[in-house]
Amino acid sequence: MNDIYPTFYKKFKCIANLCPDSCCKDWDIDVDCETEKYYSCVEGNLGDKIRKLTVTDEYGERVFISNNGKCPFWNQNMLCDIYIGLGEEHLSATCKNFPRMSVDYTDFCEHILSFACPEAARLMLEDDNAYADFGGENELSACENSDDYMSFLLKSRERTAKMLLDRSQPFAYRLADCLEFNAQIQIILNGGEPAPLDFDDTEPCGCGFIFDMHLNFEIMSSEWKDKVALAAKNGGELKISKEFDDDFEKFVLYYIYRYYLEAVNSGDVLYSIKRIICAYIVTSKIEAALKAAALPCDRLRILQRYSKEVEHSYENTERMNAEFSKDKRFSAQNLILMLEAMV
Gap between the Cα atoms of 235 and 285, Å rounded: 5
When the beta carbons of 91 and 335 are compared against ligand SF4, the nearer one is 91
User: Residue length, the chain?
Assistant: 343
Residue 121 binds ligand SF4 (CB under 6 A): no
State which of positions 137-166 bind ligand SF4 (CB under 6 A): none
Gap between the Cα atoms of 248 and 240, Å rounded: 11
Gap between the Cα atoms of 100 and 93, Å rounded: 11
Which listed residue (7, 19, 158, 199) binds ligand SF4 by CB under 6 A? Answer: 19
Nearest-approach distance from CB 117 to ligand SF4, in angstroms? 3
Which listed residue (4, 6, 14, 186) binds ligand SF4 by CB under 6 A? Answer: 14
Residue 15 binds ligand SF4 (CB under 6 A): yes
Gap between the Cα atoms of 251 and 307, Å rounded: 10
B/e letters for 37-60, b = 16+ CB within 10 Å, e = fewer, are eebeebeeebbebbeebbeeeeee
When the beta carbons of 95 and 338 are compared against ligand SF4, the nearer one is 95
Residue 119 binds ligand SF4 (CB under 6 A): yes
Options 112-120, 238-246, 251-259, 335-343: segment touching ligand SF4 (CB under 6 A): 112-120
Beta bridge partners of 74: 80
Helices (H), 132-266: 137-143, 148-164, 171-189, 208-215, 222-234, 242-259, 263-266
Task: Quickly list DSSP for 156-170.
Answer: HHHHHHHHHT-TTS-
When the beta carbons of 19 and 103 are compared against ligand SF4, the nearer one is 19
Classified as helix, coil or strand, 58 is coil
When the beta carbons of 80 and 231 are compared against ligand SF4, the nearer one is 80
Angle of helix 242-259 relative to helix 171-189, nearest 10 degrees? Answer: 20
Count of residues interacting with ligand SF4 (CB under 6 A): 11
Residue 98 binds ligand SF4 (CB under 6 A): yes
Which residue's CB atom is positioned nearest to ligand SF4?
19
Options 11-19, 185-193, 203-211, 293-301: segment touching ligand SF4 (CB under 6 A): 11-19
96: amino acid identity, one letter: K
Nearest-approach distance from CB 21 to ligand SF4, in angstroms? 6
Residue 99 binds ligand SF4 (CB under 6 A): yes
Nearest-approach distance from CB 56 to ligand SF4, in angstroms? 24
Residue 311 binds ligand SF4 (CB under 6 A): no
Which listed residue (4, 6, 8, 23) binds ligand SF4 by CB under 6 A? Answer: 23
Q: Which of 306, 315, 117, 335 is nearest to 227 (CA)?
A: 306
* Contact set with ligand SF4 (CB under 6 A): 14-16, 19, 22-23, 98-99, 117-119
